[in-house]
Amino acid sequence: MEKTLLKIKILYDSFSKTEKKIADFVMENPRRLISLYITELADECAVSEATAVRFAKKLGFDGYQGLKLAVASETEVKPVSENIKKDDSAYKIFGKVCDDIYCSLEKTKNSIDGGALEKACEKILSADRIMIFGLGNSASVCIDAAHKMLRLGLNATAYTDNHMQAIAAAHADGKSVAIGVSHSGQSKDIVEALKTAKQNGATTVALTHKGKSPIDKASDIVLETVSDEMNYRILGLSSRIAQLAIVDTIYSYLACRLEKAEEEIAKTESALRQKKY
């Protein structure tokens, strides 16, 4: 029996009634656990999110994510993709990665809430200040979004440090839009920054994976991507491309509607021209 599941079995009698519900679920469905957000596990077991965290800590983990990672490593869940094999050539892997990306884009296109996307674009269009929060794997998406908006002359800034995120959120107001990028929707720093910005009157937007997660409660508008990768890895790969597609959509919408878009783009190109050979 895997180490974590064995530990659950050993400590079973010490768990509370609600913690035993989680223990039963994990022992019966270890592979399912890996794809569940903490909110989804709580709903599945009819317990609170706090109970899920407490359960994980009783097993010696810092939190729910630590429990998921341990179960994933012990149940032979593949770190990259279920489709990619150890002896695949680089070109064959490239083809499979392209297929994953295409699948993620199509699923996202068919699932995304068009009304929410339109609303997010309009809020950004009328904002005096746009702050974009992202950490780790989401930082590159955060920077790309700010870069594109800045090229249009918008007051957009990417914050990829959790202290700077907290400071920026503390100075948000009713004319601000705060965008949080988190594939899992469980990044505590991103969720807390959005909560603070929202309390200060800002419109909050989440760019995250489809499914219930803590970031939903902190967001006025939720833009969701869809991919199968949460079933076999913690790191989002193809979903990142879907997030970038949403960023490109927002940029294109703004470029078509901002009165001085062409002028601002020309300024940007002029400033960058001397940087090229």
pLDDT in tens, 200-239: 999 999 999 888 889 999 999 999 998 765 444 445 567 8
- Burial pattern 15-41, b for ≥16 Cβ within 10 A else e, equals beebbbbbbebbbeebeebbbbbbbbb
Q: Please report which helix (H) or strand (E) contains residue 38, including its range.
A: helix 38-45
Q: Please report which helix (H) or strand (E) contains residue 129, including its range.
A: strand 129-134
Asked whether the whole model's pTM tops 0.85, one would answer no
* Mean pLDDT along residues 49-66: 92
Question: Beta strand 203-209 with 176-182: parallel, antiparallel or unpaired?
Answer: parallel
pLDDT, tens digit, for every residue of 99-115?
A: 888 888 998 999 999 99
* Mean pLDDT along residues 17-41: 89
pLDDT (0 to 100) of residue 260:
92
Q: Within the chain, which residue ranges are assigned CATH 3.40.50.10490?
A: 93-273
Tokens of 63: 């939190």
Residue 163 corresponds to which amino acid? H
Q: Within the chain, which residue ranges are assigned CATH 1.10.10.10?
A: 3-74
Nearest Cα residue to 206 out of 182, 239, 172: 182
pLDDT (0 to 100) of residue 142:
97
pLDDT (0 to 100) of residue 81:
59
Compute the distance between CA of residue 163 and CA of residue 182 in angstroms, rounded to an integer: 17
Compute the distance between CA of residue 69 and CA of residue 126 in angstroms, rounded to an integer: 41
- The radius of gyration of the chain's CA atoms, rounded to the nearest angstrom, is 21
Whether the per-residue pLDDT at 79 is higher than 80: the answer is no
pLDDT, tens digit, for every residue of 175-203?
A: 999 999 999 898 999 999 999 999 999 99
201, 172 Cβ separation under 8 angstroms: yes
Nearest Cα residue to 207 out of 195, 198, 217, 216: 216
Percent of the chain with pLDDT over 90: 66
Compute the distance between CA of residue 77 and CA of residue 80 in angstroms, rounded to an integer: 9
73, 38 Cβ separation under 8 angstroms: no
pLDDT, tens digit, for every residue of 125-175?
A: 999 999 999 999 899 999 999 999 999 999 999 999 999 999 999 999 999
Whether the per-residue pLDDT at 85 is higher than 70: the answer is yes
Compute the distance between CA of residue 264 and CA of residue 191 in angstroms, rounded to an integer: 32
Write out the CATH class of domain 93-273: alpha beta
Fold (CATH) for 3-74: Arc Repressor Mutant, subunit A (1.10.10)
Whether the per-residue pLDDT at 77 is higher than 60: the answer is no
Question: Mean pLDDT of all residues in the chain?
Answer: 90
Q: For the chain, count helices (H), then strands (E).
A: 14, 5
pLDDT (0 to 100) of residue 16:
94
